[in-house]
Copies of this chain bind each other. A is one copy, B any other.
Amino acid sequence: MQITPRVLKGFRDFLPAEEARRAKFIRILEDSFARFGFLPIDTPVLEYADVLLGKGGGETDKQVYRFDDHGGRDVAMRFDLTVPFARYMAQHRSELYLPFKRYHIDKVFRGENTQRGRYREFTQCDFDIVGTGSISADLEIITVIAGAFRSLGVPGVTIHISHRALLNRYLETLGVSAHTESVLRTIDKLRKIGRDKTLGILTDEIGPEAAASVLAFIEVEGDYGTVLAHVESLLGAAGPEVGALRTIGDALEGLGLTEVVRLDTSITRGLDYYTGIVYETFLTGAESIGSVCSGGRYDDLVALYSKESMPGVGASIGLDRLLAALDELGIAGDDGTGADVLVAMQDAELLGHYHALATGVRAAGFRCEVYPDDTKLGKQFAFAERKGIPIVLICGRSEYEAGTVGLRHIVDGSRYDGLPLDAAIDRIKTLVAGGSRPAPEPAKDR
């Protein structure tokens, strides 16, 4: 009896072109984080459930893949990279030094509803600076986000920042601070539910006047300095959070990032977790897909596991959402995943010679493979075209005896014959630099 090959709902296979693109983006992000002195770490996919979930666990709990292992231990698959990082910092405190900067790019698992392009297995790219409350770290996260998206070749990106205390203080001045939590949750949905619905909910919560004031507060438009001045005037006095935002604003000018960063008081991040600066990041032209990099400052990472307090600031890029956004923008990414050269198999007795030729081509820095079967050349050319390999190297018995090879360029049809291998490699250099490469056939479905 055969088993139907299939994957679980919300889980995905990646075909080569797509996986190559993902791997390339992950490498770019790793290098980008490393340029800022972030270090890589890794933690297990599977952990003790109490370590990941704490004592109780609310909404997250239901989404967690949790089970008893062979030893009867209550275990769970990680649902984010933040909780394992907190456990890691508490556990390895004596082996590390503060401030500590880590990045972690890996898969996480949530058994949530799969509608609207959400997956049950997806990749997060986290970067955090812990062990410092300095505004310098908050600023650095902005520079890291800007640098990462520049490295990824994303044309337009806007980093929206705010400070959690701004809205808190404004709700105090309005005398509705008892409703802070519900108001923040409502505002966090603004982009999703629209202005009118938001106003309606806020009116129900805090009355029409305060609701209108809150909307006016979060809808202040203009450049960084203008918004900050306006916010300051609405608040009536400059608190420490206004000072922090001003320090960041001043630094952004020297860094040439004023065009990239917006002060946006509607950013709340909805979570109780964040206590200071918060970030969301939108790609120009794909704003509707939501933030592709979010985060903020938190007072204590390790509270659940340690008496030591460890403040920090960080953010996370959702790789799957980012790729979806780039798809929407028509930014395909490099599909040059195949080899540069295919050595055709014309005479099975020359098998060793073909592999020696391929070794020579590789030694010159090119990706090269030998077609394994002694079949018709036409079939081998079709294979090269299908896989996106631009050049076929041929060597029949007569070439072998003459010590030469021939080259065929799949795309422009050009031919080069009677070349010693050295000359052929020089020619390959020219042809590959020329860059015409057949596009490998795209995946038919996902």
Residues of A at the B interface (CB closer than 8 Å) are: 1-9, 11-16, 19-20, 22-23, 27, 30, 34-37, 39-48, 50-51, 54-55, 62, 65, 67-71, 73, 75, 77, 87-88, 90-92, 94-97, 99, 101-102, 107, 109, 111, 120-121, 129, 132, 134-137, 139-140, 143, 147, 247, 250-255, 304-307, 337-339, 342, 345, 348, 351-356, 358-359, 362, 366-374, 383, 386-387, 389, 441, 443-445
User: Could you list 28 examples of A-B contacts with CB < 8 Å?
Assistant: A1-B55, A2-B304, A2-B305, A3-B50, A3-B54, A8-B44, A13-B43, A13-B88, A14-B42, A15-B41, A15-B92, A19-B39, A19-B42, A20-B39, A34-B337, A37-B367, A37-B368, A37-B389, A39-B338, A46-B65, A46-B121, A67-B67, A97-B383, A132-B373, A134-B345, A136-B345, A143-B358, A143-B359
Contact A305 B129 (CB under 8 A): no
CB < 8 Å: which of B43, B111, B348 contacts A69?
A: B111
Report the nearest B residue to A89, measured CB to CB.
B5
This chain's copy number in the assembly: 2
Contact A4 B37 (CB under 8 A): no
| Closest chain B CB from A54 CB (angstroms) | 7
| Closest chain B CB from A241 CB (angstroms) | 16
Report the nearest B residue to A31, measured CB to CB.
B367
CB < 8 Å: which of B3, B94, B373 contacts A134?
A: B373
Contact A136 B41 (CB under 8 A): no
Q: Quick one: which of A65, A139, A352 has the most chain B CB within 10 A?
A: A352
- CB-CB under 8 A from A107, the residues of chain B are 45
Other than the given A37-B368, A44-B121, A46-B109, 9 more pairs (CB < 8 A) read: A19-B41, A19-B42, A35-B366, A37-B389, A46-B77, A97-B387, A134-B372, A136-B370, A255-B352
Contact A94 B143 (CB under 8 A): no
| Closest chain B CB from A150 CB (angstroms) | 11
Q: Closest 5 interchain pairs by CB?
A: A37-B369, A251-B352, A67-B67, A16-B39, A37-B339
Contact A23 B30 (CB under 8 A): yes
| Closest chain B CB from A224 CB (angstroms) | 13
Known contacts A39-B338, A137-B372, A351-B139, A359 near B3 by CB under 8 Å: no
Give the distance in Å from the alpha carbon of A305 to the alpha carbon of B46 in the complex: 29
Give the distance in Å from the alpha carbon of A129 to the alpha carbon of B374 in the complex: 16
Report the nearest B residue to A119, measured CB to CB.
B44
| Closest chain B CB from A320 CB (angstroms) | 12
Contact B94 A369 (CB under 8 A): no
Known contacts A35-B362, A139-B355, A305-B3, A40 near B67 by CB under 8 Å: no
Contact A136 B351 (CB under 8 A): yes
- CB-CB under 8 A from A352, the residues of chain B are 139, 247, 250-255
